[in-house]
Amino acid sequence: MTVIVLTSCPPGLRGFLTRWLLEISAGVFIGNPSARIRDVLWDEVHQYAGQGRALLAHTTNNEQGYTFRTFDHAWHPVDHEGLTLIHRPNPGAARSADDTGRKTGWSKASKRRRFGKT
């Protein structure tokens, strides 16, 4: 079983994938192509995804029974003692309050609620 999920990709790529896979929801393709066809499809996704993102998950003979690949995602697969896990970067650690332009502390509305002033 092979699953490909596309986000913000060109419609032509979606049309290309429907030749071999079934689109069960917008941008979600499933099917059972051979390993060679799956690799060719993934190469085409890399070439034509543009500014979009893609995820490929397929069955394989390992402890988990599946593996996955990502293209242009913030989340990345990481091998941890033979298991493939997803590494999700912490958005709070990458940015500080100065970078976002937001003020820290209590808002005016929360101060009124907390201290009973109207």
What is the tens place of the pLDDT at every residue in 72-99? Answer: 888 888 988 888 888 888 876 655 545 5
Per residue in 11-68, pLDDT (tens digit) is: 999 999 999 999 999 999 999 999 999 999 999 999 999 899 999 999 999 889 999 9
> The whole model's pTM is what?
0.73
> Which tokens in the block code for residue 54?
């893609």
Q: Which residues of 45-65 are buried (b: 16+ CB within 10 A; e: fewer)?
A: beebbeebbbbbbbeeeeeee
Average pLDDT, the chain: 87
**Residue 59, pLDDT score:** 95
Give the H/E segment covering residue 18. none
